[in-house]
Chain A
Amino acid sequence: MPIEKAHEVPAVQTIDLRRVYKSGSSSHKGIAAAIPHKKSIIALDGVSLTIEHGELFGLLGRNGAGKTTLIKVLTTLLSPTSGKAFVNGMDVTRDVVPIRKHIAMVSGGEQSGYGILTVREQLWMFAQFYGVPSREAHRRIDELLAAVDLTDQANQKVYALSTGMRQRINLCRALVTDPQILFLDEPTVGLDVEAARAVREYVRFWMRQKPGRTVLLTTHYMFEADELCDRVAVINHGQIIAQGTTNELKRNLEEHVRFQIELGEVAVKSPGDSLREDGGLEAERTPAFVELLRATDGVIDVHTETRKGRTELQLALSREELIATTMATLNEAGGRVLTLRRIEPTLEEAFVQLVGKAAGDEEDEHVEEAHP
């Protein structure tokens, strides 16, 4: 499908997608049918997603959550049990070959290709599978190797490369065919910091190079998703339990808005008048404004800590705009504000909370009893 037409439909769309693995499945359907209570594993359970062209979309989930299964379905390697999945508007069950022309996939820890080939030969070989003319393939190979800083390794045998280098070559292997949609299945797993960063940087660069290029990334690394993705979805036991931008996900979890304020020397109440209940690094004397703040409407929690004459104040407010009132109260009480910072929850916190909550809700639902 031409890119112009392809952009009229989402890059990826799934509608109530479901994939069930029957244990001991396959050729033993008759046996499976004959045994009552045979367990089936629901890898995808009503997944509905839409990824637009030009998006870098992250799919987050624990091991076995269904991330890789979804990628296998979208890359035409696995048939859905029910529901629909479209890539560039084409059905993954019907339009297998046309879809394959426009996609590529890189998996973490991938050992594809042949060690006896040089890096250049390996990339050329995969380019041939997509009909890229040899001259054009070599031009792209030069460009890609330069971009991932592996030009010097072009004529080195693949078996001699380090894990990080191999993964960068895997990325080049996928990109040498100039796909419209790239599926990255935990592409930085097992890589050292520098190699992982190189992969991430190149993915970002590749997206910027041509508008409309789309990436679906699965990862365990929350910072990676936070750094790269325009939008993310959290998958748990085969179900999408949340989706949106990373900021939306973080904010959706927050019941309160949190701020951290650093104050210079402040007026204090009488000695020993401790207002904190949780002990810890309690200041010897509690600033006078703490009580004032606590009495303010909309202030949920106040936490202070004093070190070397400076007081760090952590506030939980019911609404963001209350920070103005709070600052005014502080001023009136003689507090000298040095810094003010809104505390954002991390994506990891959001993920843990989402998955933990879902685990509580759905603990018993992911194993389905098949009917005899």
Chain B
Amino acid sequence: MTTTSSVTPGTAWHKTSGSMRLGFKTMIGRAYPRLISAIREPDWIFYEIALPLLRVTAFVLVYKALKAPPEYAGFVILGGAMMAFWLNVLWMMAAQLHWERLSGNLELYLMAPASMLWILAGMAFGGIFITLLRAAVIVVIGSLIFGISYAITSMPELVLIFVLTLVALYGLGSMLASLYLLYNREVWAIQEMIQEPVALITGFYFPVRALGGYAGGVASLIPLTLGLDAMRQLLFPHGWPSFLPVGWEIAILMVLVVVFLVGAAKSFAFIERRARGEGRLTLKWQ
């Protein structure tokens, strides 16, 4: 029996579908080590779940001591869960290409025919999977320990906001990753420098409205700020002092998704070109 393909070889569609297929394979290939390491190195469960839970617990106890409404414990637990994504983006996305360069993987990734963005997508995919697990465990255990109940007003909106937040956040991570190709030993210092301030201004453990309009507006450039605020509004409809209405926050998150994804693609193309010109892509020790 002869089968015919509706896709003619050599056409633009054929080329596009071919490069998409290659891209997806590249993404799955790069995600694989992250997924498999979650199984093979289970000690991350302690470091990435038990230790963050202690931090969340500390904030919950402060709120309890201040006799804050019971929802506040839920705010903190959700913040703690989303904090995992920020750390993942910072250390396993933004800084990852720096480590890959040191190990010699970066030049092999660059030599591969698929766009480097697919490699970054693979890192994100693998990172999201294990971080989602970590976040879910924090939410479940934290909620059980502190007796938190949730009143979800709109599940589709909640899922949409969560997805938009993650896509924008990992887009930001990809953009940072490309910028870090121009830096070497400074990467560690930069990471340390931005980790805590961002954790502060995005309102992981308090309402971002407390920062005021201007500071909150600047903080909104980090997708977690509005994502977290919107999710808290949907999960705790009566107790959360919101920064912006949910609809606005969804719209802004959509813009951020486009800005960060396009920004990542553009900045990576620019920086790769520049780094190839300067010979920075392959220098391992500086």
Binding site for B on A (CB under 8 A): 21, 25-27, 72, 75-79, 97, 100-101, 103-105, 107, 110-114, 116-117, 121, 124-131
Closest to B274 in A: A26
- Whether A116 and B37, one on each chain, are in contact in the complex, defined by CB atoms closer than 8 angstroms, is yes
Chain B contributes a number of interface residues (CB within 8 A of A) equal to 36
Question: What are some 12 contacts across the A-B interface (CB < 8 A)?
Answer: A25-B279, A26-B274, A27-B182, A77-B282, A97-B113, A103-B111, A104-B111, A111-B103, A112-B104, A112-B108, A114-B37, A121-B32
Closest to B22 in A: A131
Residues of A close to B274: CB separation below 8 A = 26
Task: Choose among A100, A125, A127, A131 the residue that contacts B111 (Cβ–Cβ < 8 A).
Answer: A100
Closest to B182 in A: A27
- Whether A125 and B104, one on each chain, are in contact in the complex, defined by CB atoms closer than 8 angstroms, is no
Residues of A close to B108: CB separation below 8 A = 105, 112, 126, 129
- Whether A111 and B33, one on each chain, are in contact in the complex, defined by CB atoms closer than 8 angstroms, is no
Contact A78:B279 (CB < 8 A) given known A112-B103, A128-B26: yes
Q: Provide the B25-58 mask, 1 if CB < 8 A to any CB of A, else 0.
A: 1101110110011001100000000000000000
Nearest first, the 7 closest Cβ-Cβ pairs linking A and B are A128-B29, A129-B112, A26-B278, A131-B22, A100-B113, A114-B33, A101-B113
Residues of B close to A97: CB separation below 8 A = 113
- Whether B276 and A77, one on each chain, are in contact in the complex, defined by CB atoms closer than 8 angstroms, is yes
State how many angstroms separate the Cβ of B51 from the closest Cβ of chain A: 22
- Whether A116 and B281, one on each chain, are in contact in the complex, defined by CB atoms closer than 8 angstroms, is no
- Whether A72 and B29, one on each chain, are in contact in the complex, defined by CB atoms closer than 8 angstroms, is no
- Whether B22 and A79, one on each chain, are in contact in the complex, defined by CB atoms closer than 8 angstroms, is no
- Whether B41 and A21, one on each chain, are in contact in the complex, defined by CB atoms closer than 8 angstroms, is no
State how many angstroms separate the Cβ of B8 from the closest Cβ of chain A: 17
Given A116-B36, A128-B26, 15 more pairs with CB closer than 8 A: A21-B279, A25-B278, A27-B278, A78-B279, A78-B281, A103-B111, A117-B33, A124-B32, A125-B29, A126-B108, A128-B28, A128-B29, A129-B25, A130-B112, A131-B21
Bound state CA distance, A130 and B41, in angstroms?
Answer: 28
Residues of A close to B109: CB separation below 8 A = 129
State how many angstroms separate the Cβ of A39 from the closest Cβ of chain B: 15
Residues of B close to A27: CB separation below 8 A = 182, 278
Bound state CA distance, A26 and B121, in angstroms?
Answer: 28
State how many angstroms separate the Cβ of A44 from the closest Cβ of chain B: 12
- Whether B21 and A77, one on each chain, are in contact in the complex, defined by CB atoms closer than 8 angstroms, is no
Task: Choose among A103, A105, A129 the residue that contacts B114 (Cβ–Cβ < 8 A).
Answer: A129
- Whether A128 and B111, one on each chain, are in contact in the complex, defined by CB atoms closer than 8 angstroms, is no
Bound state CA distance, A273 and B111, in angstroms?
Answer: 71
State how many angstroms separate the Cβ of A170 from the closest Cβ of chain B: 10
Bound state CA distance, A130 and B29, in angstroms?
Answer: 10
Bound state CA distance, A112 and B108, in angstroms?
Answer: 8
B212: Cβ under 8 A from any A Cβ: no
Bound state CA distance, A27 and B109, in angstroms?
Answer: 24
